[in-house]
Chain A
Amino acid sequence: MTTTGSSSLMGNPDDAGRFGRFGGRYVPETLVPACAELEDAFRQAWDDPIFRSEFDELLHRYAGRPSGLTECKNLSSQLGFRVFLKREDLNHTGSHKINNVLGQTLLAKRMGKTRIVAETGAGQHGVATATAAAYFGQECVVYMGEVDIARQALNVYRMRLLGAEVRPALSGSRTLKDAVNEAMRDWVATVESTYYCLGSVMGPHPYPWMVREFHRVIGTEALSQCQEILDGDVPDVVVACVGGGSNAAGIFSGFVDTRAELVGVEPAGGAAVGRLVPGVVHGSMSFLMQDEFGQVQEAQSVSAGLDYPGVGPEHAHLAEIGRARYEPVTDTEVLNAFELLSRTEGIIPALEPAHGLAWMVKAKDELAGKTVLLNLSGRGDKDVAQVQAIRDGDPSALETVDFSSEANNTNGAQ
């Protein structure tokens, strides 16, 4: 059961696709009709019980939902508060990304679009999209920054194995933001035949809303799983990592109307919410890392999946109204948390959700005696080689992006 009542703090955006003052549809004129068509198609599909049951069926039989809820006894006693994990790492393809992708590719099929384009950072969204496209027999092109192609070689091969074409984004910082640029340019040129499967709660209306709805299942499941264990109560704190913010939006949607405190964790080098400067890029208004002139800055993080200078507009809104807070952690804290969860619980997390755990470790005094739910958005197999290289002392493994002081000054130009 899914509730999207307008009384919810995470209900529907207004007609212009706004969450408070954030969101909207800042796209080239060529794409305006396509965004409107997508919005109509999503509204109809989401109101159609047949679409809903097809989607639920896919999540269950193909992706393996519902995902479990694990209590971490060892970690809890070490940290001094009760820790639960929502196990999105156990989904097919190894992360939460599959929820959104199955929703969007099913929608693409319903709209009669046979070609799918996507952007990817860590490669998780790309792998999920390539997977769903293989399942539905759709042509699939994934744009990925050249830097990310180098540090996520395994996922690149996975996508190719699944029949997708991986195209390098060669401009700018050659990471996620540039992959989004390339995917949007592709879409501008192919909009009549192509469906753009965006990987997070960002982009022009209706994406931030639609992607959150496809991930709402995380929060809905987690709420009832927690209530079952906690005798009808909810955790005191719900934690998720935030790149664009899709796994966070999914889990927050289940708890936003409860007493639970919501915490999004950003990499210190990509803390768009932390900097509180509004801006417009990739189709929506949100908080955005930028210089004094409005040039978008390059995020910098050990985790390719969080290496994004913006954040979904609904998170900007939740931060502004004070319903959620957003905290930064450093790469070093993340690597320690990555190892901590592996050793204490036998669960190797992706570097992205290791950000959430890193904050919990840091905030352990504040959290003492509480019950904390972390969205474990993905498994760490993809990151093992990189972490090994860092721990073995290969400095280039941590120096993820060439961020010379000159590039830093001119922002985006290389």
Chain B
Amino acid sequence: MTAVGTLERHLRQRRDEGRKLLLPYITGGYPTDEWPRLIEGLAAAGADAIEIGIPFSDPVMDGPTIQESSTLALGAGISPVEILARLSEVEVDVPLIAMTYYNICFRMGHERFASALKEAGVSAAILPDLPLEELTPWAEAADQAGIETVLLAAPTAPDERLPRIAERARGFVYGVGLVGITGERDELASSAIEIAQRLKNVTDKPVLIGVGVSSPSQAVEVCSVADGVVVGSAVIRKIIDGSVDEAIDFVGSLRAGLDSI
């Protein structure tokens, strides 16, 4: 048995106290100078952990909103190394999770990437194009360095696959709320609650649902079963159409919604 990591311990404890978990996503480097302040604002607004995207040139799991923030961040010249350097200076009391595509990690080298995350004060990693079958070389390096690798579980997975994903996941299990890519949706897909239930049936690790969770009411709806939510595109949309402060307020409203359960 691997020792339970920082992120999982933190999330389990809060869940077991009866709290629903809230994980906002932001794109590292967007908006250019304000993103570190955004992280601190989100923590203060009630985030239980924060997912920071390291933008990649070809984000195949992402819809137009996160494509836009990634393109803007890359266009402003931000690199993975700079993002991690800035993160190490951010002062928050919740765990940070790096989300990026596998080639960024592969290019740096598994050991180097894992230790760079560690040095930046990041607890965990999400690599959405690295499924179970390709995971081992990275996951071993991550385990070694004390970086928790969160795994995604999709509605398309057959029943036999879910326990294997849950078993290998560290930190929490990330249930994909719909069959599709990231982006805001008007309604919660029925698959969101279904995947949450299927995961809760096979694991006692925290189960969070993301992709297509876009509003406080949707977050509340899915948390009838799930332990929490990951909200990405809807947060980024608030920044694109408004400001960092509007995004922070929005996360505050998600928090209030979840606390009302």
Report which A residues bind B (CB closer than 8 A): 16, 24-34, 171-172, 177-178, 181, 184-185, 188-192, 278-283, 285, 288, 290, 292-296, 409-414
For the complex, give the distance between the alpha carbons of A171 and B151 in Å: 27
Chain B residues within 8 Å of A192, by CB? 156, 179
Tell me if A's interface is mostly helix, strand, loop or mixed: mixed
Among A25, A177, A296, A412, which residue has its beta carbon within 8 angstroms of that of B134? A25
How many CB-defined contacts (below 8 Å) exist between A and B? 135
Chain B residues within 8 Å of A177, by CB? 58
Contact bitstring B111-144, A, C-beta under 8 A = 1, else 0: 0000000000000000011111110000000000
For the complex, give the distance between the alpha carbons of A412 and B74 in Å: 8
Of A181, A190, A192, A410, most buried by chain B (CB within 10 Å of CB) is A410
Contact bitstring B156-172, A, C-beta under 8 A = 1, else 0: 11100100010000000
Among B80, B128, B153, B179, which residue has its beta carbon within 8 angstroms of that of A293? B80
Contact A295 B57 (CB under 8 A): yes
CB distance from A202 to the nearest CB of B (A): 13
Contact bitstring B45-85, A, C-beta under 8 A = 1, else 0: 00000000000111111010001000111110101110000
**Which 8 residue pairs of A and B lie closest in terms of their CB atoms, listed nearest first?**
A412-B57, A294-B107, A413-B74, A189-B180, A413-B75, A30-B154, A295-B57, A29-B152
Contact B157 A29 (CB under 8 A): yes
Among B58, B153, B165, which residue has its beta carbon within 8 angstroms of that of A181? B58
Among A32, A172, A285, A293, which residue has its beta carbon within 8 angstroms of that of B104? A293
Chain B residues within 8 Å of A171, by CB? 67, 71
Chain B residues within 8 Å of A33, by CB? 156-158, 161
For the complex, give the distance between the alpha carbons of A172 and B56 in Å: 11
Known: A171-B71, A280-B102, A280-B106. A32 touches B133 (CB 8 A): yes
For the complex, give the distance between the alpha carbons of A412 and B57 in Å: 5
Known: A26-B129, A188-B61. A294 touches B179 (CB 8 A): no
For the complex, give the distance between the alpha carbons of A31 and B61 in Å: 11
For the complex, give the distance between the alpha carbons of A278 and B103 in Å: 9
Contact A28 B179 (CB under 8 A): no
CB distance from B169 to the nearest CB of A (A): 11
Q: Cβ of B4 < 8 Å from any Cβ of A?
A: no
